[in-house]
Amino acid sequence: MSSQTDSTADQPAQARARLTDAMVRLGNGDRAALEQIYRATNVKLFGICLRILGNRKEAEDALQDVYVNLWRRADRFDPQRASPISWLATFARNCAVDRLRTGKVRAGAVPVEAAAELPDAEPLADELLIDAERAERVHTCLDTLDGKTRDAIRSAFFGGHTYAELADAQEVPLGTMKSWIRRGLTKLKTCLEKGE
C-alpha cells in the first residue's frame, strides 16, 4: 500500500519531467515528441483557447495554430526559466489573442482587452509545485510512523476505509484502532510543523 501512495504523490513531478523532456526533444527536432506533448496538453490548451475565443470551432483552429507554431519554435523553450505547462499555456493564450487581434474570429469571442482577465480554473504551475511538495512532506512524515499506525492512517485517509473496517481487518477493538490513528495523527502533525 505504501508504494501505491508514494507513486501517487510522485505523479505530478513525473508528468512534469516527461513533458519537459518531450519539449526539449521537440526543440532538437524529434517529431515523435510533438505527439507526446499533444496528448499531455491538448485538453488544457483547448480550454484556454475556448475561454478566450468563446467559440468551439475558433478554439480548435487556435489549438492547431498552437501546435504548428510549437513545432517551429520549440527550441525557444528553456526548462530553467519556465515549467513546460506554463510556457505552453502562455503560448496558447498568445495564439488565441493573435486570432482576436487579426480579426479572424467569428462572432461570440470576447473582446481582446478581456482576454487577459479570463480566469483559468486549473491551478497555476507554482500552486501545483507547492501541492506536490506538501504531498511529499506528508508521505515523508508518514514514513516516520510505525507500520501499523502508518498503514491505518493511509487506509483511513487515502483508502477511504472506516475505523470500524480497519479494526475488523486488524482484529483489534475499535477503540484501539481509534487510539492508533489519533496518536499517529498527533505525531504526523508534529512532523509536518517541523517541516514548515
Q: What are the structural domain ranges in the chain?
A: 2-121, 144-195
pLDDT at 7 over 70: no
What does the alpha-carbon distance between residue 65 and residue 26 come to, in Å, rounded to a whole number? 16
CATH architecture assigned to 144-195: Orthogonal Bundle (1.10)
pLDDT tens digits, one per residue of 147-193:
888 888 888 777 677 888 889 988 999 999 989 989 988 888 888 78
Report pLDDT for 160: 74
Cell triple for residue 67? Answer: 501546435
Angle at which helices 56-73 and 31-53 cross, to 10° = 140
pLDDT at 141 over 80: yes
pLDDT tier, 1 (very low <50, low <70, confident <90, very high otherwise): very low
Report pLDDT for 25: 92
114 compared with 82, residue with greater pLDDT: 82
Cell triple for residue 166? Answer: 480497519
Three-point CA angle 67, 62, 28, nearest 5°: 15
pLDDT at 5 over 80: no
For the question of whether the overall pTM of this predicted structure is more than 0.75, the answer is no
pLDDT tens digits, one per residue of 92-138:
888 888 887 776 655 455 555 555 444 444 555 545 455 556 667 77
Report pLDDT for 2: 46
| 2-121 CATH pick, 3.40.50.150, 2.40.50.90, 1.10.1740.10, 3.40.50.10860 | 1.10.1740.10
Output the CA torsion sign for 154, 11, 122, 50: negative
Report pLDDT for 10: 59
pLDDT tens digits, one per residue of 14-48:
888 888 899 999 989 888 889 999 988 888 888 88
Report pLDDT for 126: 47
pLDDT tens digits, one per residue of 10-21:
567 788 888 889
